[in-house]
Amino acid sequence: MDGQQTGDLRQIRIDKLNDLIKAGRDPYKISKYEVTSYSKDIKDNYEEMEGKFVSIAGRIMSKRGQGKVGFYDIQDHLGRIQMFAKLDTLGEEEYNWLKTYDIGDIIGVKGVVFKTKTGEISVKAEEVKLLSKSLQTLPEKFHGLKDIDIRYRQRYVDLIVNPEIKEVFLMRNKIIRGIREYLDGEGYLEVETPILSPIAGGANARPFITHHNTLDIDMYMRIANELFLKRLVVGGLGNGVYEMGKMFRNEGMDANHNPEYTAMEVYKPYADFNDMMTLTENIVAYVAKKARGTTKIEYQGRIIDFTPPWKRVKMQDMVKEYAGVDFDLVKTDEEAIAIAKERGIEITPLMTRGHVISEMFEKYCEEHLVQPTFVTHHPVEISPLAKRNVEDPRLTDRFEAFANTWEIANAFSELNDPIDQRERFEAQVRQKEAGDEEAHMMDTDFINAIEVGLPPTGGLGIGVDRVIMLITNQPTIRDIILFPTMKPLD
C-alpha cells in the first residue's frame, strides 16, 4: 500500500471520528470500562460460562456479515473471541454505528456467552461501546506484518497482528523471574547499583559517554556492574549479592549484540569459580525447565542439553586440540607472536603470549562449542579482575560458559590482591593509551575498597538475552527485545 492510499484511508477514519464527536459519541472521553471476562477464560470454561452475562473489551480484528447480523473477532491480551451482533438486540441506531467501526478499533462489549449454529463460542452483544478509534490501518489480515524492520520499529503493531510473538515475551518474563527465584531461594540479596558512573569498569568494552551538567563532568553508562557489587561484598552486605538489569556497550550490532542488553551478575563471598560453574548450570537448567518444561532445548534445528553437569575444558587444551599448538611449549611472547603471524592473526600493540592464546581460541575453537561447556583458565592478560591460578600464574581461575558456540556467561575467582589489581589496571591503562578503546580504566576507589579487604569471592555474569534466545528458539537478539535499537528512518 503506497503512502497516498494510506493517507486517504487515515483521512476516512478521521472523518468517521469527527462524525462520532459531532454525534456526542467521542470515544476519547471514556476513561474507564469495566471488564469482567477474557477471551481465553470464556473459551476454556465454556460449560461454566454458557448463558452468563459478561463484559469484555478488545480490538476488532475482523468483521463480516451483512444486513441485520454481524460477526466480529475481538482480540484481548489472551486471545480472540467472536462477538455476535444483531440489529434486533442492539437497536437500529447502535447497530448502524457499529457497522461504521473499523478493524483496529477498540470496543467494549456486554452480552451473553453462547455458541453459534456452527459451534463457535461467542458473546451475543447487548451493548457495544467504542472505546478508542484506530486512525491507522492494520496490515492485511491474511498476511500480517512480515517486514522484519517494521516489526522491530513498530512492536505495538507486531504484537497485534502477530499474536504468537507475545508467547516469546511471556516466556522471557518467566525466564527473568526464574533467575530471581533461583537466586533468592539460594539466599542471595538483590541490589541496585549505578547506571551512570565517572568510570566505566568491570569489563573490557567501549562505553557510551554522556555529560552531567550540574557536576560538569563526563559520565559513562555502565558496561558492567561488577565493581560496585564487589564493593558491597567488601562491606559485608548479605551472604552474596546480585543485580539484573541493562548494560550498555558502544560496539557493533549483529544477531547476538544490541547496544543495550540485559545481564545478571552475582558475587558470593568465600566461594570460587568452581562454585560459580555449579551456580551457572543450575540457573540455566532451572529457567529452561520453568519456561519450556525441559532442559533439552531445540534451537534452530539442533538439540542443546542444559542438564547439569556441563563439560569442563581448559582453554589451552582446546587450542592444542583444534589449532594444533601446544602453548605449554611456547614460553615467550616473541614465540607466540611468530606463531600468530603464521596463522594470519592480526598483531596489535603490546600483544603477549596470553593475547595470542585468546585470539587462537576465538579463531579455532569457539565454533565447536555447541553443547554447554565451561572453558576455563584464561590468560591473565585478558582477565584483569580474575585471581591468578596457583599452579600457573600466567593463567587465571576463570571460565566462560558457551552454548550454541556463543558465550553466555563469564565468571572467576575474584582478584582480591590490591597490589596485583593495581598493576593489572596499570597494564590496561597502557593498552588504552596504545589505542585499545575497550581496555579497562583505572579505578582507584575500587582498589581502595579491596585494600579495605575483599574476602575470597566467586563472581558470575550471565548474558540473559542470549540465554533467552536459546530457550525461546529465536534467531536474533532483536526477536527477544521488545524495542531493539534501530537507526532512525530519514
Instruction: Convert the pLDDT of each residue in 369-410 to its tens digit.
Output: 999 999 999 999 999 889 999 999 999 999 999 999 999 999
Q: What is the CA radius of gyration of the chain?
A: 29
How many domains in the chain? 2
pLDDT (average), residues 214-240: 96
Q: State the pLDDT confidence band at 66, using cuts at 50, 70 and 90.
A: confident
pLDDT (average), residues 415-422: 94
Would you state the pLDDT for residue 39? 98
Would you state the pLDDT for residue 438? 82
Domain membership of residue 82 as a residue range: 3-138
Would you state the pLDDT for residue 7? 73
User: Is there a single domain that holds both residue 263 and residue 395?
Assistant: yes
Q: Is residue 361 part of a domain?
A: no
Rounded to whole angstroms, the Cα distance separating 375 from 101 reads 60
pLDDT at 145 over 70: no
Would you state the pLDDT for residue 432? 86
Q: Is residue 155 part of a domain?
A: no
Q: Is residue 156 part of a domain?
A: no
- The CATH number for 182's domain is 3.30.930.10
User: Is there a single domain that holds both residue 199 and residue 90?
Assistant: no
Sign of the dihedral through C-alpha 379, 227, 412, 175: negative
Rounded to whole angstroms, the Cα distance separating 106 from 226 reads 46
User: Is there a single domain that holds both residue 112 and residue 171?
Assistant: no
User: Is there a single domain that holds both residue 93 and residue 208?
Assistant: no
pTM: 0.91
User: Is there a single domain that holds both residue 124 and residue 202?
Assistant: no
Q: State the pLDDT confidence band at 439, using cuts at 50, 70 and 90.
A: confident
pLDDT (average), residues 325-340: 95
User: Is there a single domain that holds both residue 401 and residue 256?
Assistant: yes
Least confident of 3-7, 11-15, 119-123, 318-322: 3-7
User: Is there a single domain that holds both residue 227 and residue 116?
Assistant: no
* Bigger pLDDT: 428 vs 190: 190
pLDDT (average), residues 20-42: 97
Q: What percent of the chain has pLDDT over 90?
A: 88
User: Is there a single domain that holds both residue 132 and residue 200?
Assistant: no
Would you state the pLDDT for residue 441? 85
pLDDT at 223 over 60: yes
Would you state the pLDDT for residue 5? 61
Q: State the pLDDT confidence band at 3, using cuts at 50, 70 and 90.
A: low
Provide the mean pLDDT of the chain.
Answer: 94
Residue indicated by cell numbers 444486513: 67
User: Is there a single domain that holds both residue 375 and residue 250?
Assistant: yes
**235 Cβ neighbours under 8 A, 6+ residues apart:** none
Rounded to a whole number of angstroms, the distance between the first and last alpha carbons of the chain is 19
Alpha-carbon separation of residue 311 from 222, 370, 401 (angstroms): 32, 11, 10
